[in-house]
Amino acid sequence: MNTPVETAEGIWDNNSNAQYDDQTISFYNGNKCVSVEIGLSNVSTGTAVPTDSALAGKIRFNISDPLQNHDITWNTIYSSVLDNNGNDITSGITFNNPPNAQLPVELTSFNFNTSENNVYLHWTTSSELNNYGFEVYRKNSGNTQWQLAGFVPGNINSHQLINYEFADKSLLTGTYNYRLKQLDLNGNWTYFELSNSVEINSPDLFKLSQNYPNPFNPNTVINFSIPESGNTKLSVYDLSGKQIKVLLNEYKQAGYYSVNFNGTGLSSGIYIYELNNDREKLIKYMTLIK
């Protein structure tokens, strides 16, 4: 079932009211209020100002039940435009009521599962129209900015269920949020946000993973986990037992870690890497091929 979407656009007419400072367009009714803030600062004398109306903002209402009345129109009694000082300068604003539009992609589910410090996102579409693909974004509890984690190509056009998956691996301990940015071929986009936060908990095991890639030349990554905070040392040896390099030797909090190793200057062969926390010791082998 396609979900109709009502879009409404507030257009500020520069000719009717020459206000070029920060402005806030508010749509309110009782205790509910939605606002769109626009800003035009430091306008010097002689700056060219467009003579036609300029789009100030767009608010999109998602209607989950297409059988219900979705003929949304603006009630200008409950709309106002305020300047940066809070003065009402509504005179000159016009409101458009474009027809309902179909979302280019209808998502029927969006969920996740975790394995150690890896997150696997799953989502399903029931219909796609000009769907270029999905950008996957993540942010953790200590960061207010969304970071691009990857991209999954879409199927352009489809009227059947299509399942997608994205793996976000080797994360640090913490709380994460995810969202999809669906892009269509016309350059438009729609966001879909995962409803629940994802928790990457401290590991249960003292673990040293196989390096990747292996064989390697000259760079490889070594992942490990420590269940308790303490002094941690990661070293590389040749087969004779000679220490080649200390990659890490410091106090570490419990969690998951990744360390890069560069084999430039070493001969091709098999090397040993060892993880030690003064209580346990783990070793694995890696192969350098030049």
Q: Report pLDDT digits (tens) over 113-134.
A: 999 999 999 999 998 989 999 9
pLDDT computed for residue 178 by the predictor = 98
pLDDT computed for residue 73 by the predictor = 62
Q: Quick check: 44 pLDDT over 70?
A: no
Predicted TM-score (pTM) of the model is 0.62
pLDDT computed for residue 254 by the predictor = 93
Q: What is the pLDDT of residues 60-72, one digit of tens each?
A: 555 556 555 556 6
Q: What is the pLDDT of residues 55-101, one digit of tens each?
A: 555 565 555 565 555 566 666 555 666 666 777 766 666 666 666 65
- C-alpha 197/C-alpha 194 separation (Å) is 7
Q: Quick check: 4 pLDDT over 60?
A: no
Domain locations in the chain as residue ranges: 4-102, 105-200, 207-288
Higher pLDDT, 20 or 146: 146
pLDDT computed for residue 33 by the predictor = 55
Domain 207-288, CATH: 2.60.40.1930
Average of pLDDT values for 185-194? 88
- C-alpha 105/C-alpha 129 separation (Å) is 6
Same fold, 105-200 and 207-288: yes
Domain 105-200, CATH: 2.60.40.10
- C-alpha 290/C-alpha 166 separation (Å) is 33
pLDDT computed for residue 1 by the predictor = 37
pLDDT computed for residue 141 by the predictor = 85
What percent of the chain shows pLDDT beyond 70?
A: 66
CB-CB contact of 132 with 183 (8 Å):
yes
pLDDT computed for residue 39 by the predictor = 54
pLDDT computed for residue 210 by the predictor = 97
Q: What is the pLDDT of residues 246-275, one digit of tens each?
A: 999 999 999 999 999 999 999 999 999 999
Angle 68-74-79 (CA atoms, 0-180°, nearest 5)?
A: 135
Q: How many CA atoms lie within 13 A of 282 on its CB side?
A: 16
